[in-house]
Amino acid sequence: MIELAHVSKRFGSEIAVNDISLRIPKGKFCALVGTSGCGKSTTLRMINRLIAHSEGEIILDGASIETYDPVKLRRRIGYVIQHTGLFPHWSVARNIGLVPRLLKWPSIDVQARVEELMQLLGLPVEEFGHKYPHQLSGGQAQRVGVARALAANPDIMLMDEPFGALDPITREKLQDELAKLQARMHKTIVFVTHDMDEALKLADHLVVMRDGRIVQQGSPLALLKHPADPFVESLLGGLERGLKQAALTRVKDHMNSLGSALPAQSRIPADFSLRQALSMMLRDHSDRLTVVDQHDVPVGELSLRKIVKEAHLDKGNSRE
């Protein structure tokens, strides 16, 4: 668990982070969102003591981070940055094995762990192990960056705009993979991004920052439903908000049981989002969809009227 209590950071007379308080329970994914210069990156770097905070307290697993040796603290926190920060003179395998080697793991264990992680992140060892960072594409390099951060199996991961420099397709692919990894590993993740869609897609807990202060925090759905002020609303996409909310809601939470009426032609899997359902209705000129399970067996029915009517109800964000 990470807890920030009234934390501030001054650079000379300038105040970069202003009295923020934040609790990130174990195993949760917290995204810090805001425009550039809002202090989100500074906040992240205060957690692993790359920047010392000026006021307040940062507590990690019950103890103030100032009681830890900074080097040991950083070794138990995974750290991923935008431009990967891979060492250009080391091979991929050596880069990934860095922290375990710093922790003096036996070399056999290091090697096994490196191979395991490369497997996990879709980088075959035979093909990539001996390659150097400059021989990798942006997406591959950032996979290595993530693998390096995961190497010593830390409970906490700090990610500073990890996908910011990637093209949209690669970015989306890596986001999906991160979501899958997180569903399996339940790390405590602090994720900095300026991309609200990325934050909505990945986070359990969303923190919107502006000028060093927290403007609003809460679950993605809560923010979408009740943005605190016009700034948060504009970050959330203004008029697009409804669709973004729909993207976070599963079809199965809004479907009716199969009625006696003839089932609709268009079929949608139950774990798709309402946004995808709406898109399908528009495409197929239909206000009804048949909901199917993973074996393509009809299990329910979705109607446009019901979705619209229930839009304000708090019915199931699958990540809550």
Partner 1 sequence: MSLRDALPTPRIHRDGLNPNAVLISLSIVMLAAFWTLDMVSMAPNRIVLGTGYSAPAAFGWPGALLATLLFCAISFLAWQPSQRHYQALLAAVVMLMALMPFGLIVSSFLLIEPELAQARLGLGAGYWVTLFILLLCLVELRLRLNLTRLWPTLLLSGIALVWWLCATLWLDSLALVQEFKARDQLFLRAVGQHMTLVGIAVSVSIVLGLALALLMRRYARLQKVAFTVLNFLQTIPSIALFGLLLAPLAWLAVNVPFLAKLGVSGIGTTPALIALIAYSLLPMVRNTYTALEEVSPVTLEAAKGMGMRASQRFWQVRLPLALPVLLEGVRITTVQAIGLTAVAALIGAGGLGTFIFQGLGQAAMDMVLLGALPILMLALVVDAGLGALAEALRPGGAR
Is 135 among the residues that bind partner 1 (CB under 8 A)?
yes
From 98-106, 231-239, 285-293, 312-320, give the range in contact with partner 1 by CB under 8 A: 98-106
Q: Give Cα separations from 310 to 77, 303, 304, 314 (angstroms).
A: 42, 11, 10, 8
> What is the Cα–Cα distance from 204 to 220, expressed in whole angstroms?
7
Interacting residues with partner 1 between 144 and 203 (CB under 8 A): 148, 158
**Residues 55 to 74: which contact partner 1 by CB under 8 A?**
71-74
Q: Does 218 bind partner 1 (CB under 8 A)?
A: no
- C-beta of 30 vs 86, nearer to partner 1: 86
Q: How long a stretch of residues is the chain? A: 320
Three-state SS at 192: strand
Residue 83 binds partner 1 (CB under 8 A):
yes
Q: Pick from 62, 88, 106, 230: which binds partner 1 (CB under 8 A)?
A: 88
Q: DSSP state, 68?
A: S
Residues 6+ apart with CB under 8 A from 29: 182, 189, 191, 202, 203, 204, 205
> How many other β-carbons are positioned within 10 Å of the β-carbon of residue 50?
14
Contacts with partner 1: how many residues (CB under 8 A)? 26
Between CA 248 and CA 318 the distance in angstroms is 8
Task: Determine the interface stretch with partner 1 among 57-65, 112-120, 131-139, 280-288 (rule: CB under 8 A).
Answer: 131-139
Report residue 87 as tokens: 């060492």
Residue 236 CA to residue 223 CA, distance in Å, equals: 8
CA distance 252 to 302: 9
Nearest-approach distance from CB 100 to partner 1, in angstroms = 11
Indicate whether 98 belongs to the interface with partner 1 (CB under 8 A).
yes
* Region of 126-134, 161-169, 193-201, 281-289 interacting with partner 1 (CB under 8 A): 126-134
Taking CB under 8 A as the rule, which mask of x and - marks residues 13-52 in contact with partner 1?
-----------------------------------x-x--
Q: Is 132 in the site for partner 1 (CB under 8 A)?
A: yes
Q: Which one, 163 or 272, has the nearer CB to partner 1?
A: 163
Closest CA to 277 of 304, 311, 295: 304
Angle at 12 between CA 7 and CA 14, to 5 degrees: 65
Q: Which is nearer to partner 1, 134 or 285 (CB)?
A: 134
Cα 15 to Cα 5: distance, rounded to the nearest angstrom? 17
Q: Is 117 in the site for partner 1 (CB under 8 A)?
A: no
* Residue nearer to partner 1 on the CB measure, 94 or 254: 94
**Shortest distance in whole angstroms from residue 173 CB to partner 1:** 23
- x-marked contacts with partner 1 along 222-251 as a string, rule CB under 8 A: ------------------------------
Contacts of 58 (CB under 8 A, 6+ apart): 2, 3, 4, 5, 7, 46, 47, 64, 65
Residue 18: what are its φ and ψ, rounded to 5°?
A: -120, 100
Task: State the nearest-atom distance from the C-beta of 109 to partner 1, in Å.
Answer: 18
| DSSP secondary structure letter of residue 158 | E
Member of 30, 38, 58, 99 binding partner 1 (CB under 8 A)? 99
Q: Which is nearer to partner 1, 17 or 149 (CB)?
A: 149
> Which residues contribute to the site for partner 1 (CB under 8 A)?
48, 50, 71-75, 79, 81, 83-89, 91, 98-99, 102, 132-135, 148, 158
